[in-house]
Amino acid sequence: MSIRRDRRHDDPSDADLVRGLKRKHPIAQRLFVEQYQHVVFGLCLRMLGHRQDAEDVAQDSLIRALSGVHGFDGNRPLRPWILRIAANRCRTALANRRRRPALLEVPESIVDHRRPRFDSDGLAGELDRAIARLKPKLRLAFTLFEEQGLPYEEIAVVMKCPLGSVKTWIHRARARLATDLTRRGVRC
């Protein structure tokens, strides 16, 4: 099998990769996983906030993509398609998490209030926690735009929503992050 690589990134073109995946070629499958595992895991980690859950959902997403590639139109880009699968799996995991019994809360009298306001990870940690507090659809839109670098149009495809909704959600996510960080004493 001959898989042409994109000269700029040394990755195969999406069309070549899809053709190889549809033929169940092992090299195409390996290249697909190598090319998308970090992107998918990053999205899952941001959406779920728990490393083990993110690893499980990312793996499930890649497996679902590999098994569902036969119905994929090879003329379309792969990245929005695989990110849509991952986003849907994250939504399912979040819904299942809400149905689980809640963990016991630590009584306020046990909490050590002498601890400094900011952890050692500083601004990055505060930002991560603020992003984790966003509603899932705002967090997904923000993550796809800011961290994955997807344009609004592709985010609309991934999230299966109108372009205007994507723009609104990203704007709201930024505003809520700024408000949350300011309230916690972080200068934006």
Instruction: Give me the helix-helix angle, 26-48 and 14-22, nearest 10°.
Output: 110
| This prediction's pTM | 0.70
Measured CA to CA, the distance from residue 77 to residue 72 in angstroms comes to 10
Amino acid 100: pLDDT: 64
Spell out, as residue ranges, where the chain has pLDDT lower than 50.
1-9, 103-120
